[in-house]
Homo-oligomer: A and B are copies of this chain.
Amino acid sequence: MESYNSEQRIAELEELLRAKDIPNLKDSLRRTNPVDIEEFMSDLDNEQSLIVFRLLRKDDAAEVFAELKNEGKHRLLTSITDPEIDSIVNALNFDDVIDTLEEMPATVVKRMLKNSDAETRKKVNEFLQFPEDSAGSLMTTEFVEVKPEMTCKEVLDRIKKVGSTKVTIYTCYVTSKRKSLLGYVSLRLIVTSDSDTKVKDLMYEDVISVEAYEDQEEVAKTFMRYGFTALPVVDSERRLIGIITVDDIMDVMELEATEDFQRMAAITPDEEEYSTTSAFKLAKNRLPWLMFLMISASFTSTILKSSQQVIESIIALNMFIPMLTDSGGNAGSQSSTLVIRGMATGDVELKDWYKVVFKELQIGLMIGLVMAIVAFGKCMLFDKVGSEVSLIVALTIFIIIVIAKVVGALLPMGAKKIGFDPAIMASPLITTIVDSIGLLCYFEVAKIIMGI
């Protein structure tokens, strides 16, 4: 047996489609993972992708559909017939139906729900009430629920009956008559225990759960902290209303990290992927912060204007300004990035702020000293600007690095304290702030040393 290689598979599918070899294409599609079929389809035009989609088995079609990006889903739903839509909707997991409904325009939603019964509509409406980034919007109701009095054999029989329609059967949730979550039991325990052992003797009672309105970022943190593969979702009265599985959470983790990267580069976060977002929208996401930072950076103009006299008397000072401000910005963004990331992963806690400041102070003193010595040497030997200017540059570098390190660590923590996203305080904003502080220090040091 040959090994599975997604690039080869996709190339093979492309070749078969080009040759219009439908029987072999159909066969090859059956052996290809839905994720790879999605990638294959994403490069096809409307008509071709419809041909491919109609060659898929019903279950595969639903899985491929769930993998499609919003644009692809929309394109497909407007091209296929109503019976085909019904068939997909029925084969999809409930959480994938909800995901799709949330993103499609009203006319498409109407077509999707055309033939569904009153109960489904009611359930859908309940789900659509959860905010988009909440635990509720990620969960599915397709889990296995058992009662404390059931035996292992009864649980296995139940799974045999309903198991194929459930998202996961590997963790069974134990509920009371009133639907309260009592505990959970793994299929591993059920399978390895005697068949007449009762669920209540096997179940873990200290079950970790999340509430439906909890933010998905917190849910992802809980998954990571405990290494779970599924997590129950409860309502405010601790009744079990759904479960979240780890595959959905991996997407959330990726999305949240991407959002942090975007914020740290001064971009308004956007869940759309780069490749499918229009240049206009990308420009719109980037412009506000860039504008804000440009306007804030013009504070430095004011500082430079008021220091005109110093610059004019020692024109050599001028040429070191970019180097000083850049070094300050870089030193500050090193600290802010580590603190922001530490807070995101839960390694750095707000209550430890004084430890962080003390550590950054130490780091700043060490790095500042080395940088100052090198800068002094460079100014003297290469730029040949004389010992006074070299001393001013070296001293300023030292002061800027120490301040940048401490400010860079404090700002994200301050932002979090007052309820902002710490990632917003990353490099670009730090740069702007440290620029101003750095320039002020530069001219003050110059005045003192030159005796102006």
Contacts and interface: CB of A to CB of B under 8 A. Distances in A.
Interface of A: 1, 3-4, 6, 31-33, 35, 156, 159-160, 163-164, 169-170, 180-182, 187-188, 191-192, 205-209, 223-229, 234, 238, 246-247, 250-251, 253-254, 257-258, 260-262, 264-267, 273-275, 279-280, 282-283, 286-287, 289-291, 293-295, 297-298, 300-302, 304-305, 308, 311-312, 315, 318-323, 325-327, 329-331, 333-334, 336-342, 345, 347-348, 352, 355, 359, 362-363, 366-367, 370-371, 374-375, 378, 382-383, 397, 401, 427-428, 431-432, 435, 439
B439 A345 contact: no
Given A254-B224, A261-B341, A322 B206 contact: no
B342 A323 contact: no
Given A254-B224, A330-B290, A342 B273 contact: yes
A258 to B, nearest CB: 5
Contact of A326 (B258, B375, B432): B432
A156 B191 contact: yes
A187 to B, nearest CB: 7
Nearest to A359: B279
Given A35-B225, A294-B371, A327-B290, A352 B275 contact: yes
A330 B428 contact: yes
Nearest to A270: B338
A194 to B, nearest CB: 9
Contacts of A374: 291, 294-295
A235 to B, nearest CB: 12
A311 B322 contact: no
B275 A347 contact: yes
A317 to B, nearest CB: 11
B286 A363 contact: yes
A47 to B, nearest CB: 23
